[in-house]
Amino acid sequence: MKARISRNGTDKLPWHVLYQAALFETDHDQISLRIAEAEKAVLSRIRELFTATHDHIEEDLVLDDALYALHALRNCVVHDAHAA
């Protein structure tokens, strides 16, 4: 599954779409960009929820997990790039 996301429209996409695009990116030249886009979108959503008055604990947990996974993916990619 290869994500097809143009650079122009990433600000309009939901965080979870960008997150999945980062997870499933197979082009090593694009993976760092995908991770950065996903991290930006997740952090933006976290900021939105910070001011929300409704209960959003479940989404908070999912967003935390997503950031953790992106961080782990970044560490794997950077490690693989230095090993090559």
Mean pLDDT by 10 residues, the chain (84 residues): 54 93 94 96 95 91 97 86 60
In this structure, is residue 17 part of a structural domain? Answer: yes
In this structure, is residue 1 part of a structural domain? Answer: no
In this structure, is residue 77 part of a structural domain? Answer: yes
In this structure, is residue 4 part of a structural domain? Answer: no
Query: What is the number of structural domains in the chain?
Result: 1
> Model pTM?
0.81
Q: Residue 2: what pLDDT?
A: 45
In this structure, is residue 51 part of a structural domain? Answer: yes
Q: Residue 83: what pLDDT?
A: 63
In this structure, is residue 37 part of a structural domain? Answer: yes
Q: Residue 12: what pLDDT?
A: 84
Q: Residue 53: what pLDDT?
A: 87
d(CA 44, CA 14): 10
In this structure, is residue 2 part of a structural domain? Answer: no
Residue 64's domain spans which residues?
11-83
